[in-house]
Amino acid sequence: MDNLTPEQRRKNMQNIRSVNTKPELLIAKELRKRKIYFARNVNTILGKPDFVFRRKKVAVFIDSDFWHGHSLRCIMPKSNLSYWEGKIERNRQRDKAVNKQLKSMGWQVIRIWEFDLKINLEKSLNIIISAIKEP
């Protein structure tokens, strides 16, 4: 059972960002520091990647452990469990479909978990940098 009123829950859900999240802003700051140019949240590319390097055809997604259902770090809410399990599973399936379609179009897809970025920013950046430095 939810401990918030429907109005409180609605306001809470409205405050959850899909763009300009802290992990995205952190990556953007570090890429700019290194003078690496990118596009952000490109609507015209399937899945609306968080970072796009068009010339290299590299799409980068920064995935939240909860919303994208990390197998170990996604902690399901106790209330309305069937809704959340379905929601997270649909997100996972959508991610797989987006990866498959982008790859079939010649894109390299990189997905970085929010937690991995938090514990080792440099490693996450190196994954992106090595992908865009490849000939």
Residue 9 lies in a domain: no
What is the DSSP track for 63-95? E-TTTTT-TTT----SSSHHHHHHHHHHHHHHH
Q: How far apart are CA 63 and CA 117, in angstroms?
A: 10
Residue 125 lies in a domain: yes
Q: How far apart are CA 37 and CA 60, in angstroms?
A: 13
**H helices of 4-120, where?**
6-14, 22-33, 81-104, 114-119
Residue 84 lies in a domain: yes
The CATH number that applies at residue 68 is: 3.40.960.10
Interacting residues of 124 by C-beta distance below 8 A, sequence separation 6+: 27, 112, 116, 117
Beta bridge partners of 40: 51
pLDDT digits (tens, 9 = 90+) for 7-59: 765 665 555 556 678 899 999 999 999 999 999 998 999 999 999 999 999 99
pLDDT digits (tens, 9 = 90+) for 52-103: 999 999 999 998 888 788 888 888 878 878 888 898 899 999 999 999 999 9
Residue 40 lies in a domain: yes
Residue 5 lies in a domain: no
Residue 18 sits at φ, ψ, to 5 deg, of -110, -20
Per the structure, the complete domain to which residue 42 belongs is given by 18-133
Residue 106 lies in a domain: yes
Residue 1 lies in a domain: no
Q: Are 65 and 88 in contact (CB under 8 A)?
A: no
Pairing of the two strands 108-113 and 58-63: parallel
Q: Is the pLDDT of residue 5 over 60?
A: yes
Q: Count of domains in the chain?
A: 1
Residue 26 lies in a domain: yes
